[in-house]
Amino acid sequence: MHTSVKPVASLTPSSWGSYHAERMMRHASGQANLTAIAVLLGIIITAVWVWKRLSLETQDYLIDQAIPIALLVAVCLVLVWVIVRTVQARKRRLSRRATLLARFSGEISPEQRLETAFALIEVNNYRIEGLESAVPALKELFATTLHRAVGDKQHRIRGMAASHLGVLQDLSVVPLLVKALDDDHAYVRSCAALALGRLRAIETKERLLTVMKDDWDQTVRSRAKEALERMGV
């Protein structure tokens, strides 16, 4: 008898902590946005007030000379801001990935380990780069979950495990994913097709063609078609 894996959707203490932290961050972000809007309105009102009190000669000079230069400076500042934000976002993502990798390596609880593994793949934008050291453990965990998370109530866990297996770029999981194409739940079948597309497992072409034509669920058929397109079929 197989042991069922508990759904990762249940709220654990750590999940509650993350939830409250996220709410606090959103509240702070909202306050910052309101402050920025207030400052911008103040600047606009002040600029209009000053403009109306300038002489016509000064206004003409500003229109001909100063404003184009100011616009150019503004464009440069926006570009710099975009670059800085992009670099900061990348640093945050890499920091989050390192934290999750460390947590995954040291996690004992099967439920928390699986939850961390899902989060790790997602924070890495569903790419394998940077996760090479964890691939064997992730593969074993996802494969075991796909095999043991039986029952209709755990279809989402099975589906996530299947789709995340495709991210690992390990063709040894292809037979397991092909078997998942026969799962009773359409969500699992669609995720298995997605994973095979990510792996570009061309040897499953005929099986995916059959799924694309015969599966009763439209999403599954669409995923099979997308997988075949990734393979260049």
Q: Is the pTM of this model over 0.85?
A: no
Helices 155-167 and 135-148: crossing angle, nearest 10°? Answer: 150
> For residue 104, what are the CA distances in angstroms to 68, 84, 99, 123?
54, 30, 9, 13
Domains of the chain are 112-233 (1.25.10.10)
Instruction: Give the residue from 233, 4, 26 showing the smallest Cα distance to 225.
Output: 233
Using the predicted structure, report yes or no on whether residue 64 has a pLDDT greater than 50. yes
Our measurement of the distance from residue 166's CA atom to the centroid of its chain's CA atoms, rounded to an integer in Å, reads 15
The three-point CA angle 4-5-6 to 5° equals 115
Mean pLDDT along residues 176-185: 94
What angle, 0 to 180 degrees and rounded to 10, lies between the N-to-C axes of helices 186-199 and 205-214?
150
Kindly report the number of other CB atoms within 10 A of residue 15's CB atom: 14
Q: Where are the alpha helices (DSSP H) in 53-202?
A: 56-61, 67-106, 110-123, 135-148, 155-167, 174-180, 186-199
What confidence tens digit (pLDDT) does each residue in 14-45 have?
444 544 455 555 555 666 678 888 888 888 88
